[in-house]
Amino acid sequence: MNPQRMRAIKLYKELMFLGRNYPDASYDFNGRMRRLFEKNKSLTDPEEIEKAIQLGEFIRNETLALYSLRKYRHLRRSYPPSDP
């Protein structure tokens, strides 16, 4: 199978998995991701596909960063460091 196709499918699965834990329930994360993929389904130029995949990977990394930052901030707020 085309390696780009493999990457796209893997990325899609990862994004769907990440979307399960999206903090804002009213934000349709998985739906948006699906529509983004559908919009690009007819791409044929390898360069354009590469660009689209990289955008998807960027979204994945940003979402991961969002999750960890949210948790860190919550803990930081709940347990403020004691004043010197």
Partner 1 sequence: MRPTAIRQLKVLVAVKRTIDYAVKIRVNPSQTGVDTNVKHSMNPFDEIAVEEAVKLRERGVNVESIRVITLGQTKASEILRTALAMGADHATHVELPDGADMPEPLGVAKALAAYVKREPVDIVILGKQAIDDDAGQTGQMLAGLLGWSQGTFASKLDVDEASKTAVVVREIDGGGEEIRCKLPLVLTTDLRCNVTVPRYASLPNIMKARKKPIEKLTAQDLGVDLSPRLETIKVSEPPKRVGGGKVENVDQLVEKLKAAGVV
39 vs 74 by CB, closer to partner 1: 74
Who contacts 82 (Cβ-Cβ below 8 Å, separation ≥6)? none
Span from 27-35, 38-46, 49-57, 64-72 in contact with partner 1 (CB under 8 A): 64-72
Residue with tokens 């739906």: 31
Rounding to the nearest 10 degrees, give the CA dihedral for residues 42, 45, 49, 51: -130
| Coil, helix or strand at residue 67 | helix
Number of residues that bind partner 1 (CB under 8 A): 21
Under rule CB under 8 A, residue 2 binds partner 1: no
Q: What residue ranges bind partner 1 (CB under 8 A)?
A: 13-14, 17-18, 23, 64, 67-72, 74-76, 78-79, 81-84
